[in-house]
Amino acid sequence: MKTALKFIVLILALALIWLGLSKFNWVELFRIEKNSRELEESLAKVYLDFFINAEGEIKDEDVCQPVLKLTYEICLANSIDTAGLKIHVLGGQEVNAFALPDRNLVILKGLLKDCKSQEELAGVIAHELAHIEHDHIMKKLIREVGLGTLSTMIGGGGGEVARETAGTLTSSAFDRKMEEEADLAGAEYLLNANIDPSGLADFLYRMDKMAEMPEFFYWVSTHPNSAERAQKILDRVRNEEIGSKKILSESEWNKLKLKAAAR
């Protein structure tokens, strides 16, 4: 009995010490937020340099403006901070879009060329915004590349490591839970922006059918089980009031498609 009492006192003492220690602001003391922000900024620079060198950045207003307009409209409707958001349209022919650290969103020309409607493009953008908002990118990088390798990248020789690890960001999947989270959050963003979320589902269904074709490989490989996920999105929005707002005018969309199709 005496021993049991002593044991309970010991556990209580440990709990009290924990409670007491929790009162200190360790996060600020260890400069966690500042250090992780600096790490993200440095990594984003290394990866962006790598992708821009490899694919080339598109600066054409007719291409960039509609993409920005779609993105900001979704952000505004969902109170997503646009101040730190950076959108890059690159010249790659793969049907792909991906998020990089430090709130960078990369969209490849191949995706713009392939999207059949602005709702599909908005759906992919909303999905990638959800990855950014849910902080999936850094978690994925730390888990798959490791903190040690990431530190090496920002400490010098970044280009080489970026080349080796770029696939982690573009062609290996987020885990199933993160993908589902991004799908459902993306569908929610679209609903709030009065954009029809079935565009994202349509895109996923199409990707599932086209998985064998090399130009479709990238987005499909980063986003597996596309058909199943498309169904989940449709189930999620089934009883919602679905908007049909067109963010881009017909001429803006047509110009975008024309420029994206050009070699």
Q: At what angle do helices 147-154 and 158-170 cross, to 10 degrees?
A: 130
- Please select the residue that binds another protein; options are 41, 61, 135, 240, rule is CB under 8 A: 135
Distance of alpha carbon 185 from alpha carbon 179, whole angstroms: 10
CB nearer to another protein: give 21 or 83.
Answer: 21
CB 57, CB 91: distance < 8 Å: yes
CB nearer to another protein: give 89 or 182.
Answer: 182
Using alpha carbons, list the distances in angstroms from residue 86 to 25, 81, 104: 31, 11, 5
232 binds another protein (CB under 8 A): no
CB nearer to another protein: give 36 or 249.
Answer: 36
Beta strands in the chain (DSSP E): 86-90, 97-100, 104-108
Interaction mask 4-33, another protein, x per CB under 8 A: --xx--x---x--xxxxxxxxxxx--x-x-
49 binds another protein (CB under 8 A): no
Min dist. Cβ of residue 130 to another protein (A): 12
Write the CB contacts of 248 (distance below 8 Å, at least 6 apart in sequence). 66, 69, 70, 118, 256
37 binds another protein (CB under 8 A): no
- Please select the residue that binds another protein; options are 160, 175, 228, 235, rule is CB under 8 A: 175
Stretch near another protein under the rule CB under 8 A, chosen from 1-9, 66-74, 80-88, 115-123: 1-9
35 binds another protein (CB under 8 A): no
Beta strands in 91-236 (DSSP E): 97-100, 104-108
Distance of alpha carbon 223 from alpha carbon 179, whole angstroms: 7
Interacting residues with another protein (CB under 8 A): 2-3, 6-7, 10, 14, 17-27, 30, 32, 134-135, 139, 142-143, 175, 177
